[in-house]
Structure 1
Amino acid sequence: MNHQHYEFTLKALDHGKHVLCEKPLAGKNRFVTELGASPLNDIGCYTIGFALWVFNNEKPERISALGRIQNGCDMWSVISLEFPNNRKAVLTYSAEDFTPVDAMITCEKGRYHLPQFFNAPTKVVRYEIKALIRGNIRDIEEKEFNFDNFENDKTPYNLARNSGLRYEADHVYECIKAGKKESELVPFEDTLLVVQIMDEVRKQLGVVYGPDKH
């Protein structure tokens, strides 16, 4: 139903209703009203958004993408985002493989792991290097940080373990109460950067939506 997000969001806004719209609002960086189904829109955008969050929404210097196209649809893709000072993000998504929906942030002295599902996390695990012998890791300390007591949450959700999305809904509610039209945590500029990168990925993969042909 991605192609209907824009249409029904505008209808609700025209009737004075507040809207929390799931990604993507529209199909490309330029204004469009319809788009084709694409795993990039459905799941790949989460990986891009997460990578930009890690790098403080810095624009990558280079974007590379490869994948498999079937009947004009991207079935899977590997995306590389390169940032200054040899920083990088390697992202994958697939509509045909059963892959873990987790994320890993690697640092000089360890790494952080967001278990499934990283787009609606309930905890993060830190692995800190405590001992190195001739460059080889000999001791790692593992520590788990739970964001909230989600284990006892009995609220039914449409998708498994989507309780972590409550943070988003709560933040939107606080913005509405404060009379804000834009979140200081996720400003419009950050959202547009995600879509700009998605445009470039689609271009490299050769995925063409209906509006692109006009």
Structure 2
Amino acid sequence: MALKWGIAAAGKITQDFVNAVNTLNKDDHDLVAVAARDLNRAKEFAKKFGVKKAYGSYLELAQDQDIEVVYVGTLNPQHLEVATLMLENGKHVLVEKPLCLNEKQAHKLITCAKQQNLFLMEAIWSRMFPSYQYVRKQIENGVLGDIQTVEVEFGFASLKNKDRVTKNCLGGGTVLDLGVYAIQCCQWAFKQAPKSINATGTLNDEGVDVDVLVEISYGDNKVGKIKTSALNTLSNTAKIIGTKGQITIPSFWCPTSINDIDGTEKTWPLPNAKFNFNSTNSCGLRYEADEVRKCIRANKKESENVTHNESLLIARIEDEIRKQIGVKFSEDD
């Protein structure tokens, strides 16, 4: 039976998500409605992407009885409010990363999902890619030996002009926009909580980070090294280095290929979609949509790929990095 989707917001990420979902089997996914604060924008979105209904408020979307699950693609400060609204109206929820602005909010949202007995997942789509699943097997099979170091660089000079990254009131900064991907990559590789975190960074006039260096220690000389930037375009690659060799993941947040331990390249091409995407490899959002369907149809309340505890830990790491470099949101009080 098709999973009935509602879409909260009509921005670039939700456009890419719906465009990707439309590459999946129509018997598995049904795009029921989209909501935006501007009804005309929602109507244009619905017409373009073949969504059945359009609403001018998130409350209307939450109250639509035809919808099973809502994808929340709003700006960071609205994640808690909009996702809670959907949960309280009986909807399962997939929330764009970061789950919330801080661990306190994330805990509140997860508690709400548990009270409502509904599925909730942070949209860390990277982990659903076949490339990630392949590297996971390589790690678990001992091909890399013991993982010693994870090095991740993620930066785009073009972000210096993006309000969602540069403005404090929008929950900006590279830690929440880019760092969440780098942090999850380290956590995914090491599968344990950090022993210590050391971070330095450069802040803009808004008091949000535009350049960050982080070293996460996991004990036993295991370390995650992270660099994020909204000032410079970086290599945007992850290297997972073990005692027997390394695997390199280009475009690590949405990889369709990896360089394996023996130096060979392995690829997993994405299908073509009806429209061009706004961001790199966004057709891969189809993998997380399928993951959500599988979980909900199996009556699971969280995904094994991105558990609630994992999202809380990632939020805790984000909070600690922001604290060390001096980034504070009003929601942190």
TM-score (norm 1): 0.84
- 2:84 matched to which residue of 1? 10
Alpha-carbon shift at residue 89 of structure 1 (Å)? 0.8
Partners in 1 of 2:216 and 2:85 — Cα distance?
Answer: 36
> 1:11-160 to 2 correspondence within 5 Å?
11-31=85-105, 36-56=171-191, 58-71=192-205, 72-116=207-251, 118-128=252-262, 142-146=263-267, 148-150=268-270, 152-156=271-275, 157-160=277-280
Partners in 1 of 2:316 and 2:211 — Cα distance?
Answer: 19
Name stretches of at least 5 consecutive residues in structure 2 with no aligned partner. Answer: 1-74, 109-168
Letter in 1 for 2:97: K
Aligned with 2:320 (options 190, 196, 200): 200
Which 4+ runs in 1 deviate beyond 4 A? 32-35
- 1:134 matched to which residue of 2? none
Alpha-carbon shift at residue 155 of structure 1 (Å)? 4.7
Partners in 2 of 1:158 and 1:205 — Cα distance?
Answer: 31
CA deviation string 1:146-188 (max 9, x = no partner): 2x332x5345333121223322221111001111111123211
- 1:132 matched to which residue of 2? none
Alpha-carbon shift at residue 203 of structure 1 (Å)? 0.7
Equivalent pair of 2:273/2:283 in contact (CA under 8 Å): no
Percent identity among equivalent residues?
35
Equivalent pair of 1:68/1:76 in contact (CA under 8 Å): yes
- 1:184 matched to which residue of 2? 304
Partners in 1 of 2:274 and 2:233 — Cα distance?
Answer: 26
Aligned with 1:162 (options 282, 294, 308): 282
Equivalent pair of 1:78/1:93 in contact (CA under 8 Å): yes
Equivalent pair of 2:197/2:217 in contact (CA under 8 Å): yes
Q: Secondary structure at 1:153's aligned position in 2?
A: coil
Equivalent pair of 1:66/1:79 in contact (CA under 8 Å): yes
Equivalent pair of 2:99/2:311 in contact (CA under 8 Å): no
Letter in 1 for 2:102: K
Q: Secondary structure at 2:316's aligned position in 1?
A: helix
Letter in 2 for 1:199: D
TM-score (norm 2): 0.55
Kindly report the root-mean-square deviation, in angstroms, between the aligned alpha carbons of the 2 structures. 1.9
Q: Secondary structure at 1:19's aligned position in 2?
A: strand
Partners in 2 of 1:37 and 1:48 — Cα distance?
Answer: 17
Letter in 1 for 2:103: N
Q: Secondary structure at 2:96's aligned position in 1?
A: coil
Partners in 2 of 1:184 and 1:103 — Cα distance?
Answer: 22
